[in-house]
Amino acid sequence: MTRIQEVRAREVFDSRGQPTIEVEIVCENRVYGRAIAPAGASRGGCEAAELRDYQSERFSGKGVLNAVHIVHDIIAPALRGLSIETPAYIDRLLVELDGTPDRSRLGGNVLVATSVAVAQAAAQARGLPLYESLARDATKCGLRSHGNADDSYRLPVPMVNMISGGLHAGQRIEVQDFLIIPRSAQSFRQAMELIFRVHRQLGTLLRKYGYEADLVADEGGYGPRLHKSEQALEFLVQAIRESGLQEGKDIVIAIDLAATHFYRDGRYDLATVNKKLSSSEMLDYLAGWLRSYPIVSLEDPLAENDWEGWAAITRRWGHLFQLVGDYLFATNPMRLRDGISQGIANAILIKPNQVGTLSETFEVMRIAQQAGYRMVLSARSGETEENWLADLAVATGVGQIKIGCITRGERLAKYNQLLRIEDWLGDKAQLARI
Model confidence pLDDT, tens digit, residues 258-283: 999 899 999 999 988 899 999 999 99
- Is 121 strand, coil or helix? helix
| Angle, in degrees to the nearest 10, between helices 388-396 and 108-126 | 70
- Give the contacts of 332 (CB within 8 A, at least 6 positions apart): 46, 47, 354, 355, 364
Q: Write out the E strands in 114-266.
A: 153-155, 157-158, 160-164, 177-182, 251-256, 263-264
Q: What is d(CA 299, CA 278) in angstroms, rounded to the nearest whole number? A: 18
Q: How many CA atoms lie within 13 A of 385 on its CB side?
A: 6
Percentage with pLDDT > 90 across the chain: 86
The region that residue 310 occupies, defined by phi over 0 for left and psi between -120 and 50 for alpha, beta otherwise, is: alpha
What are the DSSP calls for 38-60, one per residue? -B-SS--TTSPPP---TT-SGGG
Find the helix packing angle between 409-425 and 188-208, rounded to 10°.
Answer: 150
Pairing status of strand 295-299 against strand 322-325 = parallel
Length of the chain, in residues: 434
- Report the C-alpha gap between 143 and 190 in whole angstroms: 28
Q: Which ranges of 249-357 does DSSP label H, i.e. alpha helix?
A: 279-292, 307-317, 333-341, 352-355
CA distance 162 to 390: 20
What domains can you pick out in the chain, each with its CATH number?
Answer: 4-127 (3.30.390.10), 153-431 (3.20.20.120)
CA–CA separation, 333 and 19 (whole Å): 28
Rounded distance between C-alpha atoms, residue 178 and residue 257, angstroms: 8
* pLDDT of 135: 95
How much is the pLDDT for 169? 46
**How does pLDDT run across 173-200, given as a tens digit for each residue?**
889 999 999 999 999 999 999 999 999 9
3-state DSSP assignment of residue 161: strand
Per-residue pLDDT of the chain (434 residues; tens, 9 = 90+): 899 999 999 999 999 999 999 999 999 999 999 999 999 776 667 889 999 999 889 999 999 999 999 999 999 999 999 999 999 999 999 999 999 999 999 999 999 999 999 999 999 999 999 999 999 999 998 887 654 445 789 999 999 999 988 664 445 688 999 999 999 999 999 999 999 999 999 999 999 999 988 878 888 899 898 988 899 999 999 999 999 999 999 999 999 999 998 999 999 999 888 999 999 999 999 999 999 999 999 999 999 999 999 999 999 999 999 999 999 999 999 999 999 999 999 999 999 999 999 999 999 999 999 999 999 999 998 999 999 999 999 999 999 999 999 999 999 999 999 999 999 999 999 999 98
pLDDT at 118: 98
Amino acid identity, position 37: A
Q: What is the per-residue pLDDT for 145?
A: 65
The 10s digit of each residue's pLDDT in 348-389 is 999 999 999 999 999 999 999 999 999 999 999 899 999 999
Candidate list 85, 247, 299, 351, residue with the active-site label: 351
Q: Closest Cα to residue 59, out of 20, 21, 19?
A: 19
- Residue 215: its pLDDT value, please? 75
Question: In 3D, which of 56, 24, 54 has the Cα closest to residue 37?
Answer: 24
Whole-number Å distance between alpha carbons of 184 and 248: 9
The pLDDT of residue 149 is 46
Looking at 47, 85, 219, 360, which residue is catalytic? 219
DSSP 354-388: HHSSHHHHHHHHHHHHHHT-EEEEE--SB--S--H
Q: Is 351 one of the annotated active-site residues of the chain?
A: yes
pLDDT attached to residue 147: 45
**Predicted pLDDT of residue 42:** 60
Helix axes 229-242, 279-292, angle to 10 degrees: 20
Q: How many CA atoms lie within 13 A of 303 on its CB side?
A: 19
Catalytic residue list contains 281: no
pTM of the model: 0.94
Contact 11, 65 (CB under 8 A): yes
Can you tell me the distance from the alpha carbon of 140 to that of 36, in angstroms, rounded to the nearest whole number? 25
